Structure 1
Amino acid sequence: VRALENSSSVYEDTDNLQCFEFVPFISNGFTYPDGTGLMQLTRFDNATFQTENNLYIRLLHPNGTLTKFTVPTYNSTKYRPQAFPLNDGYVLVMQANDDQIIHGMLVNWSGQILQSDVMLTDGPIDNASRLRLLVKANVDPDKDFLVTIGFQWKIFSAPDITGQITQLYKGSITRHDGNWLGDYSIFPTTEGGYGIAVLEKLLFGQVKDPLVSKLFHYSPQWFLYVRFWQPDTLQFDTPHLVWQNPIPYYSIQIEGCEVAAEGTGYFCILEVPNTRDYVRVGFLSSGSVTDVNVISDDTENIEKIINGIRPLPC
């Protein structure tokens, strides 16, 4: 994904460009199971010096062929349209209208709109400019896919032979009292379900030292919780705390979460912008923590964290 996002110097789309006009750039990129790359291009309106609302899709196939099409969209004051891969042959396009309800369009690889108005959220989204819509296909992409925004989630069936999708499950998760939503990520599980990782932030807090009966203040505190959804169940399970910061960090964000390469468990990568370090947190679907590593910016100095790790249950 990162290679696609940063490959604008390799792939240039200069159709119909005039002298002194801005060159389009890749604003989003994903890869399908068959190796096809999905690229979302952003173009500038050279008259207004603002980005266009039209969605320009490029599909780079493993055999080197390129498919181009444009999805017509309508204006949104909060959200720009985005494209997400489903199973091979289909793209889910997200856009919001002025009532801040998130809609979806199902488009095939030829650019044909198969389903024009899928309700991805049931109502307006608060602070829609800050929240991110995430879409993740099942480990078996022909089965279903998960859509989340903030604390709302929905699971839809994969497109059928007529190119239609159906909502299967929906719900919401909650944060802990007093905590703020910092960031979130979603990932498929090897059991055919899904996981949601939520990074919660406690802005200010205090703890009492029983030895000296004094209150000590700290700020801020970060907590990484994971929840899992098993196939054919109605809700995600209870949150499991898998990491909290051992020292105060002003800002932390989730780079992403995935199935571990060895096939056992899962991991999330957290970025600490002010130190330019990364934290890799490994865990199981039971909530047990398997490993926590700090990866320094030079990627050569890797050391174990021994403070702030939740112990494994006996």
Structure 2
Amino acid sequence: MEMLLRSAALLVSLVVHAFTLSFIVMGGWIIYVNSEFLFAWMVGMVLVSIGVLLLPRARRLPADAESVARSSAPELYRVTERVARAVGVRPPTTVALRDLTVTSEYLRMGRGSQVLVIGLPLWLVLSAKQRVALLAATYAEAHDDRSIVDGALSTLALWRESLLKGGAAPGRAAAHTQIRTELGMQGTPLGTYEGMGVIGQVLGKVLGLPVILLERTLIRLVQGGHSSAARQQLARAHRVATEAELAELAELVKDGRFLAPVQAAVLRGASVSEIRQSALARAEALVSHANGHNATPNLLTTDASAHIDEELRGHYACAIKGFGLIS
């Protein structure tokens, strides 16, 4: 049943995208067939513009994310690629770092570009096994069909906002009346501007009703297939990390208990190496209390993890200065 709901959501999303593309095709066809008429060009350009504006936008890299060159962090790129292949997703083309964000994301940026964004505060305190678990959990959330559905939802939201949230601009009616008086447009009935505005709002509500129904239908379909998607994510992540490791990582991120010791160490003036060693000691204590559960394949050794820390030392030094701003 959940698979059927996900398929239905994907089908509805494709219909939305096809409808958006139809504006561009129709506008281009009108211009091509009636190229000698100025009015046809105006209509065609309006339709093409609407289609282009409604096309889903490719995700952008967060403003505070800093891309890392492969030449400066080869070991980091190697482990991200190994884990990606083990999980079953395409390896990232770029790795970026964020100083004040705990979570990590795997973003599909369009044109075949995938960007792995790593939150440095959490990455700094994780052991080698925990880092693999973090990468596995981040990659497991990537969906090809999800980007199609998200794009359709954003298009429908834009339609809804455009059709239902419109209204008269402040002062526009008074300006219209003043222009009408100065130009001597005495033949124009009073209230024409307001009347046209009311007609536009009514038309927007009439056209907006199917958009609202379609948007709510798509949201319900997505929610109905959520359990199936969550199980698939967990299955992909289990190719690399155990359930205990993933649960431990989720708990660490959820309550943010790792952050207070790091912030206290920064206030004491501790170095990056001291903060890292303290974090590793706490991670080893957690593993010993959990009877030393083992990850599936060993995709990142302790030495390789330490090498990554050396590659990112400059980034760590800049990042810890702002750790106190994280809440």
Larger Rg computed on CA atoms: 2
Which one scores higher on RCO, CA 8 angstroms, separation ≥ 6? 2
More strand by share: 1
Query: Which interval holds the TM-score relative to the shorter structure?
Result: under 0.3
State TM-score, norm by structure 2.
0.20
